[in-house]
Amino acid sequence: MVGGGEPYGAIRDAVLVIREGRIAWLGDAAGAPSELVGNPEQTLDAEGGWATPGLIDCHTHLVFGGDRAREFEMRLRGASYEEIARAGGGILSTVKATRGASEDELVASASRRLATLLEHGVTTVEVKSGYGLDVPSELRMLRVARRLADEHPVTVSTTLLAAHALPPEFEADRGAYLSLICDEMIPAAVAEGLADALDAFCEGIAFTREECARVFEAGARHGLSVRLHADQLSDLGGAALASEHMARSADHLEYASEAGVEAMAEAGVTAVVLPGAFYFLGGGHLPPIDAFRRRAVPIAIATDLNPGSSPVGSPLLAMNMACVLFGLTPEEALAGMTRNAAPVLGVAGESGTLEVGSRADIAVWSVDRPAELSYWVGSNPCSAVVQNGVLRRPA
């Protein structure tokens, strides 16, 4: 997946050598140096399949309590968002369930969801908070994410998303909740080493540009990189806002303007498209894929795994949706889950490509051509995964 050469950066009849968790050599089998390939401790024969970088799911809400299957049924029977909210549904139902769950309960439920991602070739995953919306619950969600990294063979990046929704106890005082985020949540998360990045939801149903900017400025004072849920349901200038704050990514972007895309290109902001939410919410306005291409804005893809708008547990399904719904090519889709996702989590050069010196995070696939990773729907051709140089196989 190194750009600029063969499609997919492919090397056929290849040998890849791992030493101490890193890629020591890779290339055509005929040119493999004998001092590296002789007497290996362990050999994996991919039997004509393909080896790619381990997949990177760079936008998930993996940790939460409960589910929203009941309101899914209500929507299918014609209930409006307002009716669902009055019946106790919506994001605040997940907040209530998450606040009421213990840390161990959240670990157990998130572990089941994480296991599916790992079976489908994921080696790095981002996990957001955002369903606690008070100091103890937000920190508990981030601790759960850290525990997932300790208890499973995966690299986890954590993101504080306290500016996700307005909790009911602050309905009459938005400013007080923003002060809580800036003055208490961010410092506490940083002090405990729980957050790698900061995110916010810039939307009419969430927070304004000015409110998100306030959160970003507080995060910057504590050394956190930023990301933004931007322009999903309307064009509020979220892409430009992310660019002004040198965000690592702007995510969703269905309504991003040409000016917003240009700002992203100038600032080096990655576009993270989330086809699962687009599909589950019934489609609508397409993200400006052609504008991203024209401006050379990198396009990443993620599952957006969450209980309300994207209950998508397969990165391969997200890649298929990105091709079918958004018009990406299979090569762009794989780059979106590898090479272009790595900078979003600050791991470019470590993960996302297979190169000498990079971390040996590798997914092995029983397919004849890499386009099949975006082609098949509902199957899982992942035959093996190497994580930090250690072979693990899907369960």
The CA angle 161-101-196, to the nearest 5 degrees, is 30
Q: Round to whole Å and give the CA distance between 347 and 376.
A: 28
Closest CA to 121 of 384, 388, 389, 395: 384
Q: For position 366, what pLDDT does the model report?
A: 97
Tokens, residue 32: 């493999």
Tokens, residue 166: 């307005």
Q: For position 395, what pLDDT does the model report?
A: 55
- C-beta neighbour count of 192 within 10 angstroms: 12
Q: Domain limits of the chain?
A: 55-65+100-345
Tokens, residue 179: 């002060």
Q: Round to whole Å and give the CA distance between 6 and 346.
A: 26
The CA angle 54-55-61, to the nearest 5 degrees, is 135
Tokens, residue 348: 């470019």
Q: For position 52, what pLDDT does the model report?
A: 98
Burial of 216 (0-12, 13-18, 19+ CB in 10 A): buried
Pairing of strands 390-392, 122-128: unpaired
Q: Round to whole Å and give the CA distance between 164 and 338.
A: 26
Closest CA to 72 of 378, 278, 281: 281
Q: For position 91, what pLDDT does the model report?
A: 86
Cβ-contact 316, 376 below 8 angstroms: yes
Q: Round to whole Å and give the CA distance between 362 and 359.
A: 9
Q: Does domain 55-65+100-345 have CATH number 3.20.20.140?
A: yes
Q: What is the largest CA-CA distance in the chain?
A: 71
Q: CA dihedral defined by 366, 356, 300, 144, rounded to 10 degrees?
A: 90
What does the pLDDT profile of the chain (395 residues) look like in tens digits?
998 888 999 999 999 999 999 999 999 999 999 988 888 889 999 999 999 999 999 999 999 999 999 989 998 999 876 688 777 788 889 999 999 999 999 999 999 999 999 999 999 999 999 999 999 999 999 999 999 999 999 999 999 999 999 999 999 999 999 999 999 999 999 999 999 999 999 999 899 999 999 999 999 999 999 999 999 999 999 999 999 999 999 999 999 999 999 999 999 999 999 999 999 988 889 999 999 999 999 999 999 999 999 999 999 999 999 999 999 999 999 999 999 999 999 999 999 999 999 999 999 999 999 999 999 999 999 999 999 999 987 75
Residue entry with tokens 């019946």:
87
Tokens, residue 5: 């050469």
